[in-house]
């Protein structure tokens, strides 16, 4: 365990931070935190040659006590995870989605209560997708450096500059939270933020992968449903396999190769090998499994379960999406909300193509948008 003093550009911070590599040292800090104490939280992770992110560092600040946790050395950190999972603990993070994914081995159900400062800033009318550095400068007038953004966080030892950078990522979260919470309360949007944060936790921590991945391969829209079903099978096999062997999807099988194999299945293992050269994670075991999937007859159930790839939108559908987009822009302007936060274009396209209200637009967005968007669906 080592203690340091973090530096802010042009000034000296009053916050000390502690570098922790042993559970006993972490336990001493946990014992000083009151049950349910709010936590400013961030992570550093690496995801270059893996499917899942590899957690390298966890930064936490409770009542000014900043700890930098050496994740590979500490392992499960069960008592720390239990504090975050406490129903009374508020966890404050900035742009939390990737961090939640990195924390999943420690916190499979996410924190009990989440306040995402990036989303909160958008709802407060400060701008869409603001970086932590920009938000700190805007609200606190402090310049946070970006020099270590591309660091190798798994390499040890970490430099003093890396540690200072990591500490500042949580040092300012609580003052930012206080300002944003006040703004949201005044606007009556605190419930909106709570809803979006709950939905983020549910999406990140409990996702099983897209059950209809073939629908994103738009050029397959004109294929017979049997070929689309085979493409779906291949992409589902890919998803299960990359999770098992922990590699990027494109290393095992990119979508171009997957579509080519579904469109014209290979006759044998030699042909499959020739047609998939360059797929670095497609080794003999995986290639044999893929060949089995390609040659196994499709069942009637698989074909029925395959949702067709959306066709190229008609002119009437394109006009409807345009009209809906204009409506979203107008409503966002009325509310001083970023239109990207209110409704992404892809959700409008899905609504027009499927005629079904998108799950992503439930809750407060449905209250604002439903009647006006539904009236614009092509007849």
CATH number of the domain where residue 236 is located: 1.10.150.80
Tell me what pLDDT residue 201 has: 96
- Do 49 and 192 reside in the same domain of the chain? yes
Establish if 248 belongs to a structural domain: yes
| CA atoms lying within 13 Å on the CB side of residue 199 | 14
Residue 320 reports pLDDT greater than 50: yes
Last-in-domain residue among 284, 305, 326 = 305
Tokens representing residue 41 in the block = 């939280």
| 193 and 217, same domain (yes or no) | no
Confidence (pLDDT) at 167: 94
pLDDT attached to residue 149: 66
Listed residues 205, 224, 259: the one ending a domain: 205
The parent domain of residue 293 ranges over 213-305
Q: How confident is the model at residue 11 (pLDDT cuts 50, 70, 90)?
A: very low
Same domain, 102 and 227: no
What is the Cα–Cα distance from 248 to 52, expressed in whole angstroms?
8
CATH number of the CATH domain containing 83: 3.30.420.10
How many separate domains does the chain show?
3
* Domain final position from 305, 338, 363: 305
The phi, psi pair for 116, rounded to 5°, reads -95, 115
With a cut of 60, say whether residue 22 has pLDDT above it. yes
Same domain (yes/no): 76, 98:
yes
Residue 243 and residue 240: Cα distance in Å, rounded? 5
Whether 55 contacts 106, CB under 8 Å? yes
| Residues 6+ positions from 277 with CB-CB distance below 8 Å | none
| Judgement on whether residues 279 and 332 belong to the same structural domain of the protein | no
Question: Cβ neighbours of residue 283 under 8 Å, at least 6 residues apart?
Answer: none
User: Under the phi-then-psi rule, with left for phi > 0, alpha for psi from -120 to 50, and beta for the rest, what region is 296?
Assistant: beta
| Tokens 């274009």, residue located | 345
| CB-facing half-sphere around the CA of 247: CA atoms within 13 A | 14
Are 88 and 58 a contacting pair, CB within 8 Å?
A: no
Distance CA 196, CA 181 (A): 15
Q: Do 186 and 80 sit in the same domain of this protein?
A: yes
Residue 124 forms part of a structural domain: yes
């Amino acid at each position: 365990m080592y203690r340091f003093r973090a530096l802010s550009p042009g000034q000296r911070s009053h916050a000390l931070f502690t570098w922790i590599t042993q559970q006993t040292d972490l336990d001493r800090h946990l014992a000083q935190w009151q049950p349910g104490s709010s936590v400013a939280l961030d992570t550093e992770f690496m995801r270059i040659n893996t499917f899942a992110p590899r957690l390298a560092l966890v930064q936490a600040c409770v009542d000014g006590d900043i700890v930098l946790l050496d994740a590979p050395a500490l392992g499960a950190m069960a008592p720390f995870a239990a504090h975050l999972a406490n129903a009374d603990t508020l966890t404050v993070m900035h742009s939390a989605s990737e961090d939640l994914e990195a924390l999943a081995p420690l916190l499979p159900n996410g924190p009990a209560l989440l306040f995402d400062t990036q989303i909160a800033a958008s709802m407060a009318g400060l701008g869409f997708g603001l970086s932590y550095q920009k938000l700190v400068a805007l609200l606190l007038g402090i310049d946070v450096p970006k020099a270590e953004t591309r660091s190798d966080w798994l390499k040890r030892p970490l430099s003093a500059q890396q540690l200072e950078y990591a500490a500042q990522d949580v040092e300012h979260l609580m003052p930012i939270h206080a300002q944003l919470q006040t703004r949201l309360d005044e606007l009556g949007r605190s419930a909106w933020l709570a809803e979006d944060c709950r939905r983020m936790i549910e999406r990140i921590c409990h996702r099983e992968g897209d059950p209809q991945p073939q629908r994103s391969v738009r050029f397959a829209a004109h294929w017979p449903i049997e070929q689309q079903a085979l493409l779906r099978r291949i992409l589902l096999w890919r998803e299960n396999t990359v999770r098992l062997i922990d590699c990027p999807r494109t290393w095992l099988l990119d979508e171009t190769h997957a579509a080519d194999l579904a469109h014209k299945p290979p006759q044998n293992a030699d042909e499959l090998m020739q047609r998939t050269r360059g797929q670095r994670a497609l080794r003999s075991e995986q290639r044999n499994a893929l060949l089995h999937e390609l040659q196994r007859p499709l069942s009637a159930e698989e074909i029925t379960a395959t949702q067709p790839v959306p066709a190229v939108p008609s002119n009437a559908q394109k006009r409807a999406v345009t009209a809906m987009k204009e409506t979203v822009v107008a409503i966002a302007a009325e509310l001083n909300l970023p239109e990207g936060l209110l409704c992404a274009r892809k959700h409008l396209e899905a609504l027009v193509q499927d005629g079904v209200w998108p799950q992503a637009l439930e809750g407060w967005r449905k209250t604002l948008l439903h009647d006006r968007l539904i009236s614009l669906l092509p007849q």
